[in-house]
Amino acid sequence: MKTVEQLYLSVLSYTPPIWATAVGAVLLVLTLFLSMFLLFQHLSAYKNPEEQKFLIGVILMVPCYSIESYVSLANPSISVDCEILRDCYEAFAMYCFGRYLVACLGGEDRTIELLKRQGASSSKTPLLENASEKGVIKHPFPMNYILKPWRLGEWFYRIIKIGIVQYMIIKTVTAVLAVSLETLGVYCDGEFKLTCGYPYMAVVLNFSQSWALYCLVLFYTATKDELAHIKPLAKFLMFKSIVFLTWWQDVAIALLYSWGLFKSSIAQTLQSKSSVQDFIICIEHRCVLRALSISMCSLPSHTS
């Protein structure tokens, strides 16, 4: 218990360098300004709410990440709480992205009908070379050794939907557990120790997130031709990079710290894993917002 108390006191006494908070503040203001401008563009052309409401939910992920990262950078003592709030919205944003794609297909009923027609077709051109034939989605390596090919239809749609929703549920449950473990002093954010809760959370969330993104990949594979009017590939790649790469970046930084390999001057100045991650996100999401505005701002042709 003494060690936990010492660690807690060291976190409370740590003050981030002025240059880091100053740079983070400038980037935060710029990100918020551009985010509001992008949102205003969508709201001023709010002609198809069934699609745009979910798209707005995805766009809001960038300012959410930026605000959380800056607050956590400026006040490391509440970094775990801030990360939990960010993670919960991230799960919601993934759900919004999936719902956005379904809305662009005309809703759940029309999406299921579309998949049923594809599943019943025996002469449809393969969606991807060597990936689908006769209305069947074949899993890529190494999943093809675990799962049998999936035929397109209502069952396929339900599996994809469950795969996305399960991430929302697991993310929320692990967030509550993280708060409880942090209160007890056994969460140990960024530390890979058997007596800490962080490594177990990391493993569970990694599998949950990977499965949700894999389901999105399969859904994109099955509907990419019908979604061609919204240029889904750019949107999908951008969203996947925000969610998946940010997560692995956090894990990589934690591993480097635990192995004592993160010895750059910036890392030594910021002192903690969470502060380094927060500072990097403040920088990244200014660039991410620019790419997001390019990939997300275009509306379906039938909404204009």
Q: How far apart are CA 203 and CA 191, in angstroms?
A: 13
Tens digit of each residue's pLDDT (9 = 90 or more) over 224-245: 888 888 777 777 777 766 666 6
User: Which run of H or E residues covers position 291?
Assistant: helix 273-296
Q: Contact 272/14 with Cβ under 8 angstroms?
A: yes
More confident: 183 or 298: 183
**pLDDT recorded at residue 221:** 86
Structure tokens at 82: 């801030």
Q: Contact 289/31 with Cβ under 8 angstroms?
A: yes
Tens digit of each residue's pLDDT (9 = 90 or more) over 189-206: 777 888 888 889 889 988
**pLDDT recorded at residue 267:** 55
DSSP state for residue 278 in the 8-state scheme: H
**pLDDT recorded at residue 179:** 81
Structure tokens at 267: 């890392």
Determine the residue type at 97: F
pLDDT bin (cut points 50, 70, 90) of residue 215 is: very high
Q: How far apart are CA 35 and CA 27, in angstroms?
A: 12
**pLDDT recorded at residue 58:** 83
Burial class (CB in 10 A: 0-12, 13-18, 19+), 54: buried
**pLDDT recorded at residue 134:** 59
Q: How far is CA 169 from the centre of its chain?
A: 14
Q: What spatial distance separates the first Cα and last Cα of the chain, rounded to whole Å?
A: 62
**pLDDT recorded at residue 272:** 60
Q: Contact 157/111 with Cβ under 8 angstroms?
A: yes
Q: How far apart are CA 196 and CA 181, in angstroms?
A: 9
Q: How far apart are CA 161 and CA 215, in angstroms?
A: 8
User: pTM, whole model, 2 decimals?
Assistant: 0.73
Query: How wide is the angle at C-alpha 268 spanned by C-alphas 263 and 196, nearest 5°?
Result: 80
Q: Contact 213/82 with Cβ under 8 angstroms?
A: no
| Residue burial 161-188, b: 16+ Cβ < 10 Å; e: rest | bebbbebbebbeebbebbeebbeeeebb
DSSP state for residue 6 in the 8-state scheme: H
More confident: 221 or 266: 221
